[in-house]
Structure 1
Amino acid sequence: MALDPETFGALLDTVRRFVAERLRPLEEKVAEEDEVPEDIVREMRELGLFGLSIPEEFGGLGLTMSEEVRVALEFGRTTPAFRSVFGTNVGIGSQGLVMAGSDAQKAAWLPRIASGEIVASFALTEPGAGSDSASVQTRAVRDGDVYLLSGSKRFITNADKASLFTVMARTAGEGAHGVSAFLVPADLPGLSVGKPEKKMGQQGAHVCDVNFDETPVPVANRLGAEGEGFRIAMRVLDRGRLHIAAVCVGVAERLIADAVAYASDRRQFGKPLADFQLVQAMIADSKTEALAARALVLETAARKDAGDPIVLECAAAKYFASEMVGRVADRAVQIFGGAGYIADYGIERLYRDVRLFRIYEGTSQIQQLVIARETIKNGG
């Protein structure tokens, strides 16, 4: 159920000011230290950001998808690492539980996820299973009242902060139908988390390996029935892809604003860069593509709220928006010229940050396959 317009408007205004006044001044510090300050995390909890998508009955804000993507747009106007702090709680870390959890599972975990007391993470990717996510080899073997979980997960967002993982593991034969989903507390024996990886961009947002050595997971922690894990994961990713598409649009709008400000101030040949038509062409292309992506995101979110099937549209939004923001970032560097290559201006940092959007939660190539499959299935 949507918030009333006045309440939601106040939330958006608060988020907008939080991004502008608290987060953007800290971008360089977070990039250098590879850590978001704890006082910022605490403020995010107080603002309710960890529970944006969690139903009100469990302590969340219960935003509709249309409302959630508008909040994500605002968070796109700063380094993506800030959104990542609560992003897994809002998206892939909690939504399997929201969609498929039992009443007891929801009551046990969702209030603490919504408050930010615990961080939830999503463990699907493995050393040998990335885009081919149905080929996971982590195994869960039932032994009485527990499943013994063994295997390794890779590039897991917020793993070093997580208290709860949604883990996809094989309980039967090969293929998607042999995968089941489990809620795995981080303090169970046999579970270990590796060191954060050194990355190209998005410093402050950590990804780590997660290893399981006959970790005893109670049968009561299985999400849904055996063999339903892959279906749950795909539903979670559909929603996550739309959220990421919205973040991409927000970053693009930030880059365009920065490029326009620089081009208006920087003078060459006796006049501002913004007066040169070839610079104007880059601005025009960027603005047009960002507007198109924004429209696609908002329309898809509205269709999801209406209960329409949106597998194709989520894939299209994520594909178009993530590719779009890469082009916009490249043009922004070009408009800044030599300054765009210098760390002090921040543009090169955003250029590196946005590169990941074309890879995680389904590569652009996977989105193309989904779009083509759904289009052909639907007869065009």
Structure 2
Amino acid sequence: MPATRTLPTREAADLIDLTRALASKELAPRAAEAESEERFPRDVFLTLGRAGLLGLPYPEEYGGGAQPYEVYLQVLEEIATVWSSVAVGVSVHALSCYGLAAYGTEEQRREWLPDMLGGELLGAYALSEPHAGSDPAAMRTRAVRDGDHYVLNGAKAWTTHGGHADFYTVMARTSDHRTRGISCFLIPADTPGLTAAPPERKMGLTGSTTATMHLEDVRVPVHRRIGEEGQGLAIALSSLDSGRLGIAAVATGLAQGALDHAVRYAQERETFGKPIIEHQGLAFVLADMAAAVESARATTLAAARLRDHGLPFTAEASVAKLVATDNAMKVTTDAVQVLGGYGYTRDFPVERYMREAKVMQIFEGTNQIQRMVISRTLTRPGRGGITVVGE
């Protein structure tokens, strides 16, 4: 049962229709096999890119779709309903373009963004390090100025699309200052010295390649630094707010997919002479699952609308990420329970959905980090203000 949606324009509704059609015809038939074989579906991203779905939240003048985040997130959710690895990849690609779009010079944006948003190129975002997952200010990767270049050395862990991306947005330390000593660089994948370690062997999202990227004397021209020297952490933290909304949307779509499978099964499976959905005990489980999906969607879109209106949304993005991913874990676990023994087999996708939900409580900042972000905003001056949209 597809989600019921309210969209701001006819164009947005057409985008959802296009996404649902692509998800049904191009993604759903391939997802189980690709995940089982741990095969990265690079061609799928080309298909989505050529359909205009990789640059939706960015301006048309640079090759984007000029869609509000409210619409972009619902497109992500539709993809995640059938294939979370691909939806995560689309979110990561958007994240990898954010620094250039928001902090690059006009010359940089015009030179690089059209190719990045046009569908042929795929991006990766390299922030985390093996010892500094939730504390990016502790990174050790270094960028040392050498004339009109920087020379980068270090390692970046948990890089989605690592080894498959066409470009990498990399954060590296340019001074010892903890918060103002990090800078942002846009590095082509074929730059000498930039290599990928073997992919991680993961519990879920096995169709999404995750690898450590090694930088050994990687020479990057100064004009490929995004923003000012020392502005990298601010860029990273700003981009993570939007990235958390992306993961919230993916988690919501994943939960919706699990709910859909559970409802179909409960309608078809009979015990004691009637479909199991007619047994109150199980019907109430499904009702709670539906409520969890709807609450995740509403929370995520509420934060997206704040972003679209140019209002602060850091706390709301953390709330959305926390609620949506915790709910996805609960909903997918319950979906396995609804299917009983069949839910524990790979004949049905709900066991895969359950494995995929777990990591969503971890990446883009663990849910413990989200609780820290939320708690720190509770007593800030100005919280709870009223803004009249349109004035």
TM class by shorter chain equals over 0.9
**Structure 2 equivalent of residue 255 of structure 1:** 258
Q: CA deviation at 1:377?
A: 2.2
Which of 287, 294, 298 in structure 1 is aligned with 2:297?
A: 294
- Do 1:167 and 1:181's aligned partners in 2 also have CA atoms closer than 8 Å? yes
Query: Where in structure 2 are the equivalents of 1:1-380 lying within 5 Å?
Result: 5-90=9-94, 92-378=95-381
Per-residue CA deviations over 1:62-111 (Å, capped at 9, x if unaligned) read 21111111111211211211223433222x11011111011122122111
CA contact (8 A) 2:62 2:113 kept: yes
Q: 1:38 to 1:154 in 2, by over 3 A?
A: closer
Once the two structures are overlaid, the 10-residue window that deviates more, 269-278 or 306-315, is 269-278
Deviation at 1:271, TM superposition (A): 2.2
Asked if the contact 1:135–1:174 (Cα under 8 Å) also holds between the matched residues in 2, the reply is: no
SS of 2:347's equivalent? Answer: helix
Q: Tell me, in whole angstroms, the C-alpha distance in 1 between the residues paired with 2:92 and 2:21.
A: 23
Bigger shift: residues 336-345 or 251-260: 251-260
| Contact 2:137/2:178, CA 8 A, preserved across alignment | yes
**Which structure has the highest helix share of the two?**
1
User: What runs of 5+ residues in structure 1 fail to find an aligned partner?
Assistant: none
Q: 1:320 to 1:38 in 2, by over 3 A?
A: closer
Deviation at 1:157, TM superposition (A): 0.5
The alignment covers a number of residue pairs equal to 377
My pick for the range that moved more, 348-357 or 169-178, is: 169-178
1:32 deviation in Å? 2.1
Q: In 2, distance between residues paired with 1:87 and 1:240?
A: 7
Distance 1:330 1:242 in 2: 22
**Stretch moving more, 79-88 or 323-332:** 79-88
Looking at structure 2, the residues matched to 269 and 303 of structure 1 have their Cα atoms a distance apart, in angstroms, of 50
Q: CA RMSD in A?
A: 1.6
CA drift at 1:269: 2.4
The one-letter amino acid of 2:93's match is N
Query: Matches of 2:275 and 2:147 in 1, distance apart?
Result: 73
Displacement of 1:126? 0.6
Q: Please give the alpha-carbon distance, in whole angstroms, between the structure 2 residues aligned to 1:46 and 1:214.
A: 35
Q: Judge conservation of contact 2:159–2:213 (CA < 8 Å) in 1.
A: yes
Alignment deviations for residues 223-270 of structure 1 (CA, whole Å, 9 cap, x no partner): 111111111001111001111111211111111111111111111222
- Distance, in Å, in 2 between the alignment partners of 1:137 and 1:229 is 13
Q: 1:37 Cα deviation (Å)?
A: 4.3
Q: CA offset at residue 39 of structure 1?
A: 4.5
In 1, distance between residues paired with 2:199 and 2:327? 28
Cα contact 1:101–1:223 (8 A) shared by 2? yes
Cα 1:42–1:143 change in 2 (3 A) is: closer
1:82–1:205 contact (8 Å) kept in structure 2: yes
For normalisation by structure 1, the TM-score amounts to 0.95
Distance 1:133 1:294 in 2: 29
Structure 1 stretch displaced more, 362-371 or 54-63: 54-63
TM-score under structure 2 length normalisation? 0.93
- The 10-residue stretch of structure 1 (136-145 or 112-121) with the greater mean CA deviation from structure 2: 112-121
* Alpha-carbon distance in 1 for matches of 2:342, 2:253: 22
Residue aligned with 1:216, SS: strand
Deviation at 1:21, TM superposition (A): 2.0
Q: 1:304 deviation in Å?
A: 0.9
Query: Contact 1:54/1:110 (CA < 8 Å) preserved in 2?
Result: no
Asked if 2 retains the 8 angstrom alpha-carbon contact of 1:157 and 1:206, the reply is yes
- Range moving further from structure 2, 271-280 or 93-102: 271-280
Q: CA deviation at 1:29?
A: 1.3
Segments of 4+ moved more than 6 angstroms: none
In structure 1, give the amino acid aligned to 2:167.
L
Cα contact 1:73–1:247 (8 A) shared by 2: yes
Cα distance per residue 1:103-125 (max 9 Å; x no partner): 12212211111122221111011
